Amino acid sequence: MALALAAIDPPAQPASVEVIRDPVTDHVRAYATIRSRRDRLVVSCDSDERAEPEVAFHADRWLARGNFFSGHRPITYRFDNRRPRRQMWHVEDRHATLTGRRRIAAFLSYLVASERLVIRTRDLERHRLDIVLPLRDVQPAIEQVMSACTGRPWTAAELSN
């Protein structure tokens, strides 16, 4: 009975938002965190870095290493019932960061319009690792984070620009 209950996905938690403002320089760093069990996806921005969004996921287990020189490795992800995408992510220890402005914009546009994200990769021992993230109240959280960094109202429609 306990194993059956453990296999059930817990209810989706709303995305949490954290905005950190330096009291002297007014530098802003903002984070939207989407959690699933002990894994999480973080969308962040930094007002000193042209307020470009950053996307990273943090796994409970150590991830398979990326290329020795670049640190990049292909990772597959899927939004809802759309076709899976395989893109290069920079992998380090237990987290991976998506790189490339266009790839981040495309990822975020699907993120705000979807109900579920599955990320598939390999752990350090080469076992398959699936991270399933229910996406609840993601769009307002992303907009709040980006507005904090840009200092003006921001909407998901700006991703296509």
CATH number of the domain at 120, please.
2.60.40.1880
pLDDT digits (tens, 9 = 90+) for 28-66: 999 999 998 889 999 999 888 676 889 999 998 888 777
Cα–Cα distance for residue pair 142/126, rounded to 1 Å: 32
How many independent structural domains does the chain possess?
A: 1
Residue 65: domain span: 2-160
CB 32 within 8 A of CB 141: yes
Tokens of 72: 């990049």
pLDDT digits (tens, 9 = 90+) for 71-124: 788 999 999 999 999 999 999 888 999 988 889 989 999 999 999 999 999 888
pLDDT digits (tens, 9 = 90+) for 117-142: 999 998 888 889 899 999 977 999 99
What is the DSSP pairing of strand 95-98 with strand 54-58? antiparallel
